[in-house]
Amino acid sequence: MISVILIGAGNVASHLYRAFLNAESVVVKQWYNRSFEAIKSYKNDTEVINDLSQLKEADVYIMAVSDDAVASLSKTLPFTNRFVVHTSGSVSLHDLDKKNTRGVFYPLQSFSKEAEMDFSNVPICIETEEKTKLQMLKDLAEAIDSKPYKISTEQRQTLHLSAVFVNNFSNQMYRIAHEISDAKHINFDILKPLILETANKVQEMSPYMSQTGPAKRNDKKTLKRHIKLLENEEHRDIYELLTQSIQKTHGIKYKFNSKKKN
């Protein structure tokens, strides 16, 4: 049995709390949050506190707080030589105060407050200062059906950056498509299967292999017509830059001859 004390009450903390509650080999001994309001409804399932001095002993303290709060909050923990981890993709292990044994337990997924999170779809990147602690974090990930990956701080920061590309930037591609199609009164539902298929394809095949479309084919007529169709200058800039990026990836060179429309 791994005893956990959870610190923080944001999206990651809340999802981890619910997952730990369902895990047979994990017990959440306490849940701390600065504001009592966010966690008080859980007081029948676990001990909820808003005073750091009340923190008990546990196998691991999981600080699921905002990036900026990690360093300062870890300094104010009223104990030493215990095992403290944070859950951030971008904060260094060394930002945690060195009075405790440090680690990272970073779930790489997009968390929203509402939707229930199935942790079997959440890879967890783990890192520990002391090798002996690695197994505990692996067990903790596996207890909630996650797949643990041992990752260095540098790798984790690169993963976090990569996640911006596959998550935030892909989502912005969907957003622009939504804007463009809305303007012509087209039901966005028509595009949803293609969005899913595009994501599905790279589960089996590399993104390099799965690329298609006018940029990859260097279909100049279509590239020109698309640029003409785009009424928003920012959308045109994105179309050109990403077309060039695809062509560079696939060893093709096409030059858009007009930066400005009309």
Only one residue has tokens 């959308």, namely 235
| Near a copy of itself by CB under 8 A: residue from 18, 42, 69, 157 | 157
**What is the nearest approach in angstroms of a copy of itself to the Cβ of residue 150?**
10
| Near a copy of itself by CB under 8 A: residue from 36, 42, 134, 170 | 170
User: Any contact of residue 253 with a copy of itself (CB under 8 A)?
Assistant: no
| Near a copy of itself by CB under 8 A: residue from 201, 218, 252, 256 | 201
| Near a copy of itself by CB under 8 A: residue from 221, 253, 255, 260 | 221
Contact window for a copy of itself (CB under 8 A) among 17-25, 132-140, 234-242, 254-262 = 234-242
Between 3 and 244, name the residue whose CB sits nearer to a copy of itself.
244
Number of residues that bind a copy of itself (CB under 8 A): 88
User: Any contact of residue 173 with a copy of itself (CB under 8 A)?
Assistant: yes
In the β-sheet with 101-107, what is the strand arrangement from edge to edge? 47-49, 26-32, 2-7, 60-63, 83-86, 101-107, 123-128, 147-150
Torsion, CA 69, CA 75, CA 76, CA 81, rounded to 10: 130
Please name which of 256, 261, 257 lies closest in space to residue 230, comparing C-alpha atoms: 261
User: Any contact of residue 53 with a copy of itself (CB under 8 A)?
Assistant: no
| Secondary structure class of 206 (helix, strand, coil) | coil
Judged on CB neighbours under 10 Å (0-12, 13-18, 19+), 191 is: middle
Residues 123, 148: Cα–Cα separation, whole Å? 6
**What is the nearest approach in angstroms of a copy of itself to the Cβ of residue 222?**
6
Residues 118, 19: Cα–Cα separation, whole Å? 8
**What is the nearest approach in angstroms of a copy of itself to the Cβ of residue 147?**
8
**What is the nearest approach in angstroms of a copy of itself to the Cβ of residue 103?**
18
| Near a copy of itself by CB under 8 A: residue from 24, 44, 53, 165 | 165
**What is the nearest approach in angstroms of a copy of itself to the Cβ of residue 47?**
31
Q: Which residues of 130-157 are buried (b: 16+ CB within 10 A; e: fewer)?
A: eeebbebbbebbebbebebbebeeeebb
Residues 37, 157: Cα–Cα separation, whole Å? 32
**What is the nearest approach in angstroms of a copy of itself to the Cβ of residue 184?**
5
Contact window for a copy of itself (CB under 8 A) among 39-47, 54-62, 132-140, 167-175 = 167-175
Residues 157, 241: Cα–Cα separation, whole Å? 25
Scanning residues 76 to 135, which ones bind a copy of itself (CB under 8 A)?
A: 90, 108-110, 112, 121-123, 125
First to last CA, the chain: 69
| Near a copy of itself by CB under 8 A: residue from 5, 58, 140, 215 | 215
User: Any contact of residue 37 with a copy of itself (CB under 8 A)?
Assistant: no
Residues 121, 154: Cα–Cα separation, whole Å? 23
